[in-house]
Amino acid sequence: MKRIIVVGNGMVGYKFCEKLRKQGVAAEVIVYGEEPRPAYDRVHLTSFFSGKTAEDLLMAPASWYAEHHIVLHTGELVTEIDRQQKTITTHTGKTDRYDYLVLATGSSPFVPNVKGVERDGVFVYRTIEDLNQIIDYGKKVTRAAVLGGGLLGLEAGKALVDLGLETHIVEFAPRLMPRQLDEQGSVILQHKLSQLGIAVHLNKSTKEIAGNGKLDGLEFVDGSFLPIEMLVISAGIRPRDEVAKGCGLEVHPRGGVVVNDFLQTNDENIFAIGEVAVHNNMVYGLVAPGYEMADIVVRQIAGDFSKTFQGFDMSTKLKLMGVDVGSFGDALGETPGCIPIAFQDKHNGVYKRINISADGKYLLGGILVGDAKQYNLFHQMAANKMALPAQPESLIIGAPGKGEEGAGVKNLPDSAQICACENITKGDLVFQITEKGVKTLDDLKRSTKACTGCGGCTPMVNDILKITLESLGHTVKKSICEHFDYTRQELYDIVKIKNIKTYDALLDSHGKGDGCEVCKPLVASLLASAWNELIVSQATIQDTNDRFLANIQRGGTYSVVPRIAGGEITPQKLMAIGRIAEKYGLYTKITGGQRIDMFGARVDQLPEIWEELIDEGFESGHAYGKALRTIKSCVGSTWCRYGVQDSVSFAIYIEDRYKGLRAPHKLKGAVSGCIRECAEAQSKDFGIIATEKGWNLYVCGNGGSRPQHAKLLVTDVDTETCVKLVDRFLMFYIRTADPLTRTATWLNKMEGGLEYLRDVIVNDSLGIGEALEKEMAELIANYACEWKKVVEDPALRAQFKHFINEDSTDSTLSFVEMRGQKCPPDWNKK
């Protein structure tokens, strides 16, 4: 029996072992790993800073190796290879014999030769041990920097942000992520990072890491100085090729073990895979090509020489500190004759670039920053040379009309690689569904290993599953959970037809079991949407916010947001808010929705604060619920010389009309008095813009982390017609949207897109227009201020206390002063 030694037990080394056993290769396998634990997931290393443990990150426990008859040595560094005797020696003096040797030693962080690099407070970002040291040291400092603005550097930056440190990114190049992004994409990414409080320093060459023992700053060649207390070096990688050099294997001048298309070194019995391997002068720093290399070496050992390594697509999509970034194909447009098409939205922090072939037929590559929902589809279009639409710019201007990725999945060839990490094609997935009877995403993951690497392919895998099942005649049903064999839409119809008003009644008549954390809040939200009755009367509630009709904030206190319709408020009401906020010691801030937010209220103070606000003419602003939030407005024709309609009056009417309206997700609207759009109506769930002839109505816009412009539904309608269409639109959304789905996503996934929605709402193609208007009228008629109901009901009011059996307040609440007001102390520095 052949004896295989694997040197290195990282992700790629583990994957080699897994594939070897899956192929059923009969061989003794011995693994030597330098680190003190089995292989773990470096791709998601930053999750260690947000609560994941070393055990959570394990690729497999030590028991897995034993179960698969693999001998694992941890904490054992291979220091010598004797190619003549076919033996290895470790740092402890242990020797072992091999028939085949697989080098999976990976890489180490590149540490530049800068004076002072040995100072206390300087770290690299590579292993869990490194992370533990960074966490411990981070507790003693407040200002830190990362040396390197590439992929790894930004990941390290995310770690420092999670530690609550003032964070700086220092990059030698003139832009962030210089290998993946062009200048415009880097500018957008830098702006997004600055909004998170991260300072970016470009074109910086570090002269010295200054300090006396421990560092106190970075001195740059241009004479500038950055005062910091901690530095994480993440400026690239260097292949771990020292043991290969020592035994005479061919090594590339820039580092790394040279391999051929079979991943063989210049010794036919020694292979190299992962970041230590150099193939055609290229080192691959992503996990997916390492997995591909592992598969090819397994085949060689098994006697299958049909597959060779021909390079690898380095396209990548990731979320950097909450910012989506995607880079695929020829991202920087280096193909001769290619034509770039770019879209930039500086206001929302979105940049999209596609590079098309000179003949306009094919997509070659591109860049996505701030909104990478289309990454998977674009990547496949480029990889499979799928034909472009007649107007290629339509791919990036606006959102796809139907199903985002789902619309393009049907056109992908079976050879399209869907999961790069495990080299799973569309054909592989379809085979499992059509021939093996797989019907769920979890089963598809288990049978193919798709989605188990970086996870970026999950949306497309799910789309393939759904479309393939539908093609087989299966009904793809979105049951909300094991207790209700219905979709949200079906439950909504049941509630309305059967006149069901409580969760228990619905569970008894159409469910089973006792319910769960999925169906209870969903049904509570659905009942509120159907009847607009008091949310706190439900025994099951959406969440803590609905339970106390206020948003719980950091530190355990609540915020109070009274409704200020259209942003219009009298001086008397302004003074009332000031008086009440001062009386209860609340922090006050004007919100982006033209309201005043008051933070820092104890739960027992809420009814008292509401009572005083109600006496001054205020009511709940529903800032805590999946409900209508605000209708933003400009001053319109009332004051503005450009205004053509009274936008304030209309905004107040609209907000008063729909206040308290519960929906699958929160709702925001706006009314602008002219086309200058000062109320930003086109970034709202519904927006109304004045024209000389009436109003233009836009729908399904979205701000936030995934911004999307609203779509024009109808133009130049009168006020009455506009209101009627908004009634229909909102009720149709409430009836048909999935749980926690914003209107933008609802439209993106709608069969037929905007044209279908226009047919239903404007043309009444389904004949339900009057019914939708009637349902809206019933909800409006049933509105009551939730705060007022609680204030007037002693039983409800008694629920607002910190402890069930006594009236004392929470003694753990604490505050610090900030700019003349109070705020909770920083959790990371308490």
640 is in an annotated binding site: yes
β-pairing, 107-109 vs 214-220, is: unpaired
CB 595 within 8 A of CB 630: yes
Residue in 54, 58, 2 with CA at minimum distance from that of residue 26? 2
Q: What are the start-end ranges of the H helices in 476-605?
A: 488-498, 503-510, 519-531, 544-548, 571-584
* Cα 635 to Cα 107: distance, rounded to the nearest angstrom: 60
Residue in 734, 758, 582 with CA at minimum distance from that of residue 662? 734
* Cα 473 to Cα 349: distance, rounded to the nearest angstrom: 42
* Cα 711 to Cα 471: distance, rounded to the nearest angstrom: 31
* Cα 59 to Cα 116: distance, rounded to the nearest angstrom: 36
CB 119 within 8 A of CB 129: no
* Cα 332 to Cα 178: distance, rounded to the nearest angstrom: 10
* Cα 637 to Cα 396: distance, rounded to the nearest angstrom: 35
β-pairing, 551-552 vs 558-560, is: antiparallel
DSSP letters along 11-37, please? HHHHHHHHHHHHTT--EEEEEE-SSSS
Residue 748, C-beta contacts closer than 8 angstroms, at least 6 positions apart: 399, 400, 401, 402, 403, 404, 708
678 is in an annotated binding site: yes
Residue type, position 353, single letter:
R
* Cα 380 to Cα 386: distance, rounded to the nearest angstrom: 8
* Segment holding 459, helix H or strand E: helix 458-471
β-pairing, 70-73 vs 78-82, is: unpaired
717 bridge partner residues: 695
Buried b (16+ CB within 10 A) or exposed e, 509-530: ebbeeebeeebbbbbbbbbbbb
Phi, psi (deg, nearest 5) at residue 687: -135, 140
Buried b (16+ CB within 10 A) or exposed e, 540-579: bbbeebbbbbbbbbebebbbbbbbbbbbbbeeebeebbee
* Cα 36 to Cα 46: distance, rounded to the nearest angstrom: 20
* Segment holding 155, helix H or strand E: helix 151-162
CA distances from 425 to 185, 270, 309, 420, 615 (A): 30, 30, 17, 9, 65
CB 666 within 8 A of CB 706: no
- C-alpha 320 chain-centroid distance: 9
Task: Give the three-state DSSP class for 261.
Answer: coil
Q: What number of helices (H) and strands (E) belong to the chain?
A: 27, 38
* Cα 136 to Cα 18: distance, rounded to the nearest angstrom: 35
- C-alpha 222 chain-centroid distance: 37
Task: Give the three-state DSSP class for 161.
Answer: helix
Task: Give the three-state DSSP class for 195.
Answer: helix
Q: What are the start-end ranges of the H helices in 330-397?
A: 375-383
Which positions make up the binding site for siroheme? 678
Which positions make up the binding site for [4Fe-4S] cluster? 634, 640, 674, 678
Which positions make up the binding site? 634, 640, 674, 678
